[in-house]
Amino acid sequence: MSLEKTEVVMLKAFNWSESSRTVHFFSREFGRLPLVDRAGRKLTSKRGRLLPFARMEVTFYGSKKGTAGYVSDVELLETFSLDAEGTLGRLGYGSAACELLFLLLPEDQAQNVLYTYFVSFLRQVSRSDKRTLPALFIAFFLRLMSQLGYAPSIAYCSGCNREFTEFADENKYVLFSPERGGLVCRTCQKAGEYYIRLSVEGARLMVALQKASLDEAALLPIRYEDATVLIGALAKFLKYHSGLVSDIKSLRFLDKLKNSQTGS
């Protein structure tokens, strides 16, 4: 086994004994990186501890036999505190981002740009006004899909490539087709197909967030109920085009927050 070192954020952990677990990280150099955390569940562990929502440097022994390597040492670089006003929302959106990365990232493929963007997203979630959390997450969701080759067509009709601005005001709502890959203008709609109805205002916001930086997204408050519809549409699109066989559990948790102060 070779000794390696990389910067990581923890995505998901699976316990498999009273003292040990397997941890999946998003690493700067290796993409999704599964490692065995031997005795990491013990409070008496002599090395640094792995923390969720934190940027860490992990020293590990890599394996060339197709099995996971194991953690040797941990150095904490930065923590993202999610205990400000709207804690449930911050934890929900942070967890949803981690789950999406766990489900979609390939192993052993560096994603330097996406890693830097993810770290910036966690910083924004920890410090931004709670009212902008939904917009931040939608911007992250769209950028993640784009980076991994699943970008939906929302600036143009997925049927005829007509610009959204040309058909946005034809009705009080627009239709989104997960199967056809995005928004569909009235001319291209087909009887019997499944569509998700989006408000024109919500669709405009989604178009803007597809191009927005995280700093710009943090200036765009959006009602939680409206955000839930947009996130649900993107999740259905992603499930259809990526082949995910299960629902994204963290998004179900976000849906339950509709009546909490997070979306007020």
pLDDT tens per residue across all 264 residues of the chain = 689 999 999 999 998 777 788 999 999 999 999 999 987 666 656 567 889 999 999 999 987 666 678 999 999 999 999 888 888 889 999 999 999 999 999 888 899 999 999 999 999 999 999 889 999 999 999 999 999 999 999 999 999 999 999 998 888 899 999 999 999 999 999 999 999 999 999 999 999 999 999 999 999 888 888 888 999 999 999 999 998 867 778 877 777 765 554 444
What is the C-alpha to C-alpha distance for residues 2 and 58, in angstroms, rounded to an integer?
Answer: 14
The pLDDT of residue 162: 94
Neighbours of 109 (CB within 10 A): 9
One-letter identity of residue 90: R
The answer to whether the beta carbons of residues 228 and 254 sit under 8 Å apart is yes
User: H/E element holding 16?
Assistant: none
What is the C-alpha to C-alpha distance for residues 151 and 181, in angstroms, rounded to an integer?
Answer: 8
Give the global pTM. Answer: 0.90
One of 3.10.20.30, 1.10.340.30, 3.30.420.40, 2.40.50.140 is the CATH number of 2-79, namely 2.40.50.140
The answer to whether the beta carbons of residues 95 and 87 sit under 8 Å apart is no
What is residue 195's three-state secondary structure?
A: coil
Sorted by where each begins, the domain ranges of the chain are: 2-79, 87-258
One of 1.20.120.1730, 3.40.50.720, 3.30.1330.10, 1.20.1440.120 is the CATH number of 87-258, namely 1.20.1440.120
